[in-house]
Structure 1
Amino acid sequence: MTTTSTPVSEPLTRQVSHHVSQSVFDGSRLRVVLLVEVYDGAQQRFLETYEQLRSHVESVPGHLGEQLCQSIENPSQWLITSEWESAPPFLNWVSSEEHVRMVRPLHSCVRDTRSLRFHVVRETGHPADGAERPRGGLQAAPRVGDGVIRHALTFTVKPGSEERVARILADYASPEPRVDETTRLCRTSLFLHGNRVVRAIEVRGDLLAALRHVAAQPEVRAVEEALNPYLEQDRDLGDPESARVFYTRAALPAVHHVTAGQEDPEARRHALSYPARPGHGMRLAQVLAQADEAAADDPLSPVLSSTIFQRDDVVVRLVDVRGGLDAGEPAMALGLPDPGLVAELTTLLDGAGGRDGSAPAAGDLARALEGARMDLVTDRRAPDA
């Protein structure tokens, strides 16, 4: 019998599964909204700096266009909206070092920013006859979420300091989960893989407000200060510019979340760091997302939920598993796709291919991925989360 599968270059789901609450891989156009508050008197300097940046952004692959708007009520408030063919080109661009360098001149005239990203679901109006229609489609159907926002931060520490870093990260008092009337911290999970730290958080309400709330807590500040001597990349969280650059580079966005729609209080949380070949991180995340969608519809799958985080070639998969990774079907828990995608996965995983260049069997891939398991440092769930 021949196994067929959807090529990963196509959107993952033409009919969005009710299990998928978050994904950047459905091929629909992306609208990015950036709310900006400019320092009083800096409006003209902000406009001039923006004009210099705009000419660069226009040449970025996948960028369709944008608008800059100024409030009619408060001249310090600005709105930048941009449209992209799909989410992956934007995420590649916004996480690049080039982007970090380009936006730096804006920081001297901007007091605060807030970025929001939306897939286009419906639109009115049609291009005039002969006009080119925007590239990228519309989101096929609305996704249904659980009210939880998922995000992660990642950074590396100096080799040899991992044991000390793990003790620092495990030994702190949890911050107050209630941020305000509408925002609450639900869960924080910390993992280590070699010298890479991944901190995944789950929030109900406003993610930015939650991140600021956590950063302001004395117990969290003490932990961050204790970590500074062990970081591979220097930072000074007391300096706004240094902190901004650090958190921009540390951001590890969730690109896909799927749940099987089942609850199990005994489920165990695990994280896996997949070794992507250089330049193949986004595509590897897409293959794993496709496999997770199929697993969500399989009642025998031990995976109750999966969140894939990706930035450049850093691909991390956070899973809640019934009975642990070694129970049931370990290959499925590791995120291995059906046999039709084994060869594709091999081209994306660093060192996964056989010595003769042939694609390994699923069992061989499972053994190759054993090293992807991350070490749990701490997993804290807020009461009543």
Structure 2
Amino acid sequence: MTPAGRVSQSAFDGSRLRVILLLDLYEGAQEQFLQAYDVMRRQVASVPGHVSDQLCQSIENPSQWLITSEWESAPPFLAWVNSEEHVETVKPMHSCVRDTRSMRYSILRETGPSGTAPAPVPAAHDAHDAGVVPAAGHLAPRVGEGVVRHALTFTVKPGSESKVAELLSAYQSPQARVDETTRLRRTSLFMHGNRVVRAVEVEGDLLTALRHVARQPEVRAVEEAINPYLEQDRDLRDPESARLFFTRAALPAVHHVVSSRPAPDKLRRHALYYPARPGRGLELARLLAEQDQRAAAAPDHPVHSSTVFQRDDIVVRLIDITGDLDLDPVASLGLTPTAPGGPVADDRLQSLLDGPAIGAEGSLTDERTLNRLLSHAEMQPVTDRTAAP
């Protein structure tokens, strides 16, 4: 554990990224798959941040294939994999593949061709990474507790918000235990206007847990019940329709930090919604992650843990905090004051946040603007369910 707190998930540690995609192909689909891969390979080669990729076939089972790719860092990969371009690029592969599994890893150490270690991985890409990554040398491994965090977000038709909230809050929770190594730990669901955000915490394998939940009758019944109210049509009985919906709904966790302070007896979970100016979502998520990392080292900071989720210009920050949000708006919003009770020192949030979209314009040095921003950013809690130990 570092003095600043325990970071278990981060797309901002400055490391190169290795992406591993395991595929199980249908018999007889190899040539079609190779043609689709060649098209995808040429397209992804031009994506900023992409370094290289390899296609491999199992020497034991010819239906099992592996695609590995290397990226300069996690942010450009996440921007691409969550884009409509990616959705269209991989479509031709879907009819060839029986099952897939994707894994993403930070590269912390490696051996060069001569058997000697290459130059250390850069610790940061720019000054804004300060406080999020080590200052120099090899990257330190992150320390977690075996928990993976992920979220989904989608919008419902205006006017249906109360009905959707009712349906989503009334479902029967599925069994927490998935298998010997995987269990559901917590599900937190919030709404902001007509936007729904569902955050999950899973011990073990995330994909296994999500597939387990999707098969449960009580969950399927709720998902079918909200279908008429969704702005994006979907048919969960159609694998392609379901795949597209959940691909577009993915809201990855890009940073999670827990304070090194002992956990208080009572913590309250809140979610805050930060719409970014067009094209500035990643910068906004990075800024919030950086400031939460600093807060984790503060001896009396009310925020005990924070998870930042980001996709395109949608940024959501999930926090566990002591007391009510309005007791300390600066801390609750993830800002840095010049002094206790003083104005906000870093005006970058104001330059990155789409104030008009959230109904909060004005200088963040003004107390009324801060309170208005907090009021408009806070998401409505729908349900928060923690599995029994």
- TM-score of the superposition, structure 1-length normalised? 0.90
Q: What is the letter of the counterpart of residue 105 of structure 1?
A: P
The 3-state SS of whatever aligns with 1:229 is helix
1:275 corresponds to = 275
Choose the corresponding residue for 2:36, options 49, 55, 78: 49
Residues 211-235 of structure 1: CA distance to partner in whole angstroms, max 9, x if unpaired? 0010000000000000000000000
Deviation at 1:135, TM superposition (A): 8.6
1:294 corresponds to = 294
Q: Give ranges in structure 1 of 5+ residues lacking alignment.
A: 1-14
Distance in 2, matches of 1:358 and 1:377, equals 30
The 3-state SS of whatever aligns with 1:342 is coil
Residues 261-297 of structure 1: CA distance to partner in whole angstroms, max 9, x if unpaired? 3323421100000121111111000000011001100
Between 259-268 and 300-309, the greater mean CA deviation after superposition: 259-268
2:347 corresponds to = 343
Contact kept, 8 Å, 1:66 with 1:80, in 2: the verdict is yes
Contact kept, 8 Å, 2:4 with 2:259, in 1: the verdict is no
The 3-state SS of whatever aligns with 1:326 is helix
Contact kept, 8 Å, 2:302 with 2:322, in 1: the verdict is yes
Q: Equivalences for 1:282-361 in 2 at 5 Å?
A: 282-327=282-327, 329-339=328-338, 342-351=346-355, 359-361=363-365
Count of residue pairs brought into register by the alignment = 363
Distance in 2, matches of 1:341 and 1:179, equals 46
- TM-score of the superposition, structure 2-length normalised? 0.89
Q: What is the letter of the counterpart of residue 189 of structure 2?
A: L
2:15 corresponds to = 28
Distance in 2, matches of 1:168 and 1:83, equals 42
Deviation at 1:136, TM superposition (A): 5.6
Alignment pair present for 1:250 and 2:258: no
Choose the corresponding residue for 2:69, options 82, 90, 94: 82
Q: Equivalences for 1:69-218 in 2 at 5 Å?
A: 69-125=56-112, 140-218=139-217
The 3-state SS of whatever aligns with 1:168 is helix
Deviation at 1:127, TM superposition (A): 8.1
Residues 65-111 of structure 1: CA distance to partner in whole angstroms, max 9, x if unpaired? 01110000011111101000000000000000010011001000001
Q: What is the letter of the counterpart of residue 375 of structure 2?
A: E
Contact kept, 8 Å, 1:190 with 1:200, in 2: the verdict is yes
Deviation at 1:134, TM superposition (A): 11
Identity score, percent:
64
The 3-state SS of whatever aligns with 2:346 is helix
Q: What is the letter of the counterpart of residue 286 of structure 2?
A: Q
Change (3 A) 1:298 1:83: same
Q: What is the letter of the counterpart of residue 271 of structure 2?
A: A
2:131 corresponds to = none
2:127 corresponds to = none
Change (3 A) 1:68 1:369: same
Deviation at 1:370, TM superposition (A): 2.3
Q: CA RMSD in A?
A: 2.2
Q: Give ranges in structure 2 of 5+ residues lacking alignment.
A: 124-136, 339-343
Change (3 A) 1:35 1:16: farther
Change (3 A) 1:139 1:311: farther
